[in-house]
Amino acid sequence: MTTQHSHNYPENFKARVVGIVQHRIGDGQLETIPSPMEVDVSTAIASFVLSWTIEGQPVTVSLAKPDFDYHIDHNNIVVQ
């Protein structure tokens, strides 16, 4: 996934997953982030870290910056 341009985001912000957003843990299968889902987002060097809670358990995933921008551009993730 690539995007035409890069967005500028604060170090920490909130977003809402509203479409199909998938991530991969290591070499494993793609997993879909539940939607709709409010997430906290932290900016890392080459990725964005999304975190939320399901049934009282914290969940954290990482999306590469081009993948995150792709999902923003295609309205799968909405920055709040």
Is residue 3 situated within a structural domain? no
Q: How confident is the model at residue 44 (pLDDT cuts 50, 70, 90)?
A: very high
Q: What average pLDDT does the structure give for the chain?
A: 92
Domain annotation covers residue 44: yes
Confidence of residue 3 (pLDDT cuts 50, 70, 90): very low
Say if residue 16 is exposed, middle or buried (CB neighbours under 10 Å; 0-12, 13-18, 19+): middle
In the numeric block, the tokens 């009282």 are attached to 56
Give the domain extent around 37.
12-79
User: Based on the structure, what is the number of domains in the chain?
Assistant: 1
Q: Is the pLDDT of residue 5 over 70?
A: no
Predicted confidence at residue 2, as pLDDT, reads 47
Does 68 score more than 70 pLDDT? Answer: yes
The residue ranking higher by pLDDT, 42 or 27, is 42
* SS3 label, residue 73: helix
